[in-house]
Amino acid sequence: MHTFEFEFPGDRPAQQRAHVGVVGSGDLEILVSPSADGAAVVQVRTSVDGFDDVWRNVLERFFTRYGLTGAIQINDFGATPGVVSIRLLQALDQSTTAETGRN
């Protein structure tokens, strides 16, 4: 298991907790919690070694574009960069959209 952390500045705070995805082959889960830090503190735990630069590039692109802030935990089980991007967008939507009680 490989763990690393990143921090990105942002201006779009998470308004509520979010949980998207599952830890399964080729997928990942993302947990978002609001925080008063004014930054995204991202912890990645992955079963795949040797992709630190890929993770850094995918996360930097996402957080530069969307500016989400909060405590973000990613538990990866071999997701591709495309799956990571989709899950991040889902987490952004869930954590910044007011709950309506609808699915």
Residue 99: the pLDDT is 64
CA angle 11, 21, 32 (to 5 degrees): 30
Match 């530069």 to its residue by tokens.
64
Q: How many secondary structure helices (H) and strands (E) does the chain include?
A: 2, 6
How far is residue 72 from each of residues 17, 52, 57, 100, 103, measured CA to CA in Å? 10, 17, 16, 23, 23
> Looking at the predicted structure, is the pLDDT value of residue 95 above 60?
yes
Taking the model in full, what pTM does it have? 0.89
Give the burial string for 40-79 (b: 16+ CB within 10 Å, else e): bbbebebeeeebeeebeebbeebbeebebbbbbebbbbeb
The structural domains of the chain, with segments of one domain joined by +, span 2-89
CATH classification for the domain delimited by 2-89, as one of 3.30.1050, 3.30.230, 3.30.2010, 3.30.70: 3.30.230
For 2-25, how does the pLDDT look when each residue is reduced to its tens digit (9 = 90+)?
Answer: 999 999 999 999 999 999 999 988
